[in-house]
Amino acid sequence: MDTMRAAVLHDFGDLRVERVPRPRAREIGTVVVRIKSCGICATDYKAIKGIRRNVTFPFIPGHEPSGIVVEVGPGVKHFKEGDEVICQPSGYCGFCEQCRLGNTHYCEHAFTTGGDGPEGVWPGAFAEYMLTKESCLFHKPQSLSFDAACLCEPLSGAWKGVIQHSELQLGEDVVIIGVGSIGLLCLQVAKAAGAARLIAIDPNPYARERALALGATHAIDPSSEDARARVYEIIPHGPDLVLEAAGNIQAVELMVSLRRRGTRWNVFGITTHETFALDGGLTHFLEGRMDASFGTTPLAMSKAIRLMETGLVDTEKIISHRFPLEEIHQALKVMEGERRCKIVINP
């Protein structure tokens, strides 16, 4: 068929499931993937609702896909029709200075499929088919379901933030502020890496329940108790690492308040341009280290696949809902509720 079903965003708040031209792999190194599963990211939701404004219409969102190769373009050597794959949304040239340094997510010629960040945005994976580049594909282990595999990209971000940037060490005490889907992936990574006390902070009781089920040693409700005081009751010497995965400025401010000497802290979840205050002298004498992490790289994707394949992290455990593409509007309504975690679309 020359057309396919896709969820097309025509304007903020105007998402339509309609038929559009099916992509073809005509350019060198391109591949068409039949999408089997795609997670909904908070950035997708923000684009659809107009909270995130850096969108050019019409736009097909969705940047956490897995699927099957159905067409390969000229020069494709490492994938063939029928291969089950995981797709990295962030494309890169491989030749600019940043790519040569290993920072492919800083690529000067970057593009993204269904996401945001670079100027180049290709149609995403809330569709039956998606065009991408061979360099963005990874072979899906047979042991992984498509639903589990589609969460490789957010898991890779969690690995990159917790392990590569913040350098979590065996036996360290960790606080995670915000345990929605990305916070729960950070929690699973921290658990697998040997965190000692692992404290989840979230006002949502459903999120706290899931965090405890996935290995948190403690869960704190910041809306009903003094979160800082409770953390220091559990860890009298204070946390070694604090991760902000909530995406709001209040979480960042709480993170800053939790520091003691030597605490490492990672501004991971917030993407809006908001400000917070730091006491310069205190920050100097605490001698902590602030990190941040965004996006993914081939290294991070490869590490995430290893974590899933070996069972160290089970991404299916954070999936709360699944919807066919035709019911994506219902999925977005569920996104607004409290009793949900990761939502997956199956085109």
| CB burial readout 72-104, b (16+ within 10 A) else e | bbeebeebeeebbbbbbbbbbbeebebbeeeeb
Nearest to 240 by CA among 195, 188, 284: 195
User: Considering the domain boundaries, does residue 45 fall inside one?
Assistant: yes
The neighbouring-strand residues paired with 177 are 201, 244
Statement to judge: residues 21 and 119 lie in one domain: yes
Assign residue 241 the CATH number of its domain. 3.40.50.720
Statement to judge: residues 23 and 144 lie in one domain: yes
Indicate whether 28 pLDDT > 80: yes
What mean pLDDT is predicted for residues 4-8?
A: 98
Indicate whether 1 pLDDT > 80: no
pLDDT for res 301:
98
User: Considering the domain boundaries, does residue 307 fall inside one?
Assistant: no
Residue 128 pLDDT level (bands cut at 50, 70, 90): very high
Q: Which domain holds residue 125?
A: 3-150+314-346
User: Tell me: the pLDDT tens digits for 213-235?
Assistant: 999 999 999 999 999 999 999 99
Statement to judge: residues 27 and 60 lie in one domain: yes
3-state DSSP assignment of residue 302: helix
What mean pLDDT is predicted for residues 67-74?
A: 98
User: Considering the domain boundaries, does residue 59 fall inside one?
Assistant: yes
Q: Residue 182: which H helix or E strand, with range?
A: helix 181-192
Statement to judge: residues 12 and 136 lie in one domain: yes
Indicate whether 117 pLDDT > 90: no
Statement to judge: residues 321 and 244 lie in one domain: no
User: Tell me: the pLDDT tens digits for 94-103?
Assistant: 999 999 999 9
Statement to judge: residues 98 and 181 lie in one domain: no
Statement to judge: residues 114 and 18 lie in one domain: yes
Assign residue 116 the CATH number of its domain. 3.90.180.10
pLDDT for res 94:
95
User: Considering the domain boundaries, does residue 318 fall inside one?
Assistant: yes
CA distance 323 to 219: 30
User: Considering the domain boundaries, does residue 105 fall inside one?
Assistant: yes
What mean pLDDT is predicted for residues 5-10?
A: 98
Number of domains, the chain: 2
Q: Which two tokens stand for residue 309?
A: 């394949």
Statement to judge: residues 99 and 200 lie in one domain: no
pLDDT for res 4:
98
DSSP codes of every residue in 200-244: EE-S-HHHHHHHHHTT-SEEE-TTTS-HHHHHHHH-TT--SEEEE
pLDDT for res 329:
98
Averaged pLDDT score across all residues of the chain: 96
Indicate whether 281 pLDDT > 80: yes
pLDDT for res 285:
95
Cβ proximity of 325 and 347 under 8 Å: yes
CA distance 75 to 130: 18
Statement to judge: residues 98 and 134 lie in one domain: yes
Indicate whether 273 pLDDT > 90: no
Name the pTM for this structure: 0.96
User: Considering the domain boundaries, does residue 237 fall inside one?
Assistant: yes
Indicate whether 271 pLDDT > 90: no
Residue 270 pLDDT level (bands cut at 50, 70, 90): confident
DSSP state of 127: B
User: Considering the domain boundaries, does residue 306 fall inside one?
Assistant: no
Proportion of the chain above pLDDT 70, given as a percent: 100
Q: Which two tokens stand for residue 82?
A: 């029928």
What mean pLDDT is predicted for residues 184-196?
A: 98
Rounded (10°) CA dihedral 51, 270, 154, 171: -160
Q: How many CB atoms lie within 10 A of CB 70?
A: 16
Statement to judge: residues 233 and 254 lie in one domain: yes
Statement to judge: residues 244 and 328 lie in one domain: no
